[in-house]
């Protein structure tokens, strides 16, 4: 009986220790901001809703995603390919934290991924949300890359590249 109890306690201790040593990834959140609201956006990130609101954090996950948006003010349609990569923490000693990235949807320049709230202010009369639309599939020759960046926060890496969609002349 004592051997059985000791064996069960040993198994329980190993399970507890093993469970504590499992890697832990934190969550990753993506928010959006703008000075001039885009007219629409299109994305293949299944974690984003059909309407996005300014400064609301949307829980997303590791993966490669495409995002496109249009601004009437500038007449540009901009595209972004972004990759979210998680790195495990060493739970329970050093768990990975939550990461928060903000995508600033600029009308006149390349978008920016930042890790803090935008301080650009609000343009008068700009809406606090933008709807999703089904944008047409773009041939690669229409996607002209103008920027690329990588940033890391709380055990997550965000790599992004993007540019302007050039429409063919008629």
CA neighbor of 57 nearest in space, from 82, 29, 83, 28: 29
Q: Tokens representing 41? A: 């956006």
Residue 81 forms part of a structural domain: yes
**Residue 9, in any domain of the structure:** no
**What is the rounded CA–CA span in Å between residue 163 and residue 77?**
9
Q: Is residue 4 part of a domain?
A: no
Helix (H, G, I), strand (E, B) or coil at 159: strand
What does the DSSP assignment read for 81-139? EEEEEE---BTTTB----EEEEEE--SSS--EEESS---S---TT--SEEEB--PPPPP
- Other residues' Cβ atoms within 10 Å of the Cβ of residue 159: 16
Residue at 20 is within a domain: no
Question: Is residue 13 included in any domain, yes or no?
Answer: no
Lowest mean pLDDT among 40-44, 81-85, 139-143: 139-143
> 6 in a domain, yes or no?
no
Output the six-digit token pair for 160.
């992004």
What is the per-residue pLDDT for 120? 40
Number of domains in the chain: 1
Predicted confidence (pLDDT) at residue 124 exceeds the cutoff of 50 = no
Q: How far apart, in Å, are the Cα atoms of 62 and each of 45, 71, 99, 127, 167?
A: 10, 28, 12, 29, 31
- Reported confidence tier of residue 9, pLDDT bands at 50, 70, 90: low
pLDDT > 70: what percent of the chain? 65
pLDDT of 118 higher than 50: no
pLDDT at position 168 is: 63
Q: What is the pLDDT of residue 44?
A: 93
Could you tell me the residue range of the domain that residue 77 belongs to? 25-165
């Amino acid at each position: 009986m004592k051997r059985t109890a000791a064996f069960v306690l040993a198994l329980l201790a190993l399970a507890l220790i093993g469970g504590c040593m499992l890697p832990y990834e934190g969550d990753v959140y993506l928010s959006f901001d703008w000075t001039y609201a885009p007219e629409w956006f299109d994305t293949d990130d299944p974690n984003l809703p059909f309407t996005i609101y300014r400064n609301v954090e949307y829980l997303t996950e590791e993966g490669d995603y495409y995002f496109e948006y249009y601004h009437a003010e500038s007449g540009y349609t901009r595209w972004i390919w972004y990759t979210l990569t998680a790195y495990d923490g060493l739970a329970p000693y050093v768990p990975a934290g939550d990461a928060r990235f903000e995508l600033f949807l600029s009308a006149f320049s390349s978008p920016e991924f930042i890790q803090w709230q935008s301080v650009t202010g609000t343009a008068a009369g700009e809406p606090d949300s933008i709807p999703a639309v089904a944008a047409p599939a773009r041939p690669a020759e229409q996607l002209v890359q103008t920027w690329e960046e990588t940033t890391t926060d709380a055990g997550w890496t965000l790599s992004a590249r993007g540019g302007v969609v050039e429409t063919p002349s008629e």
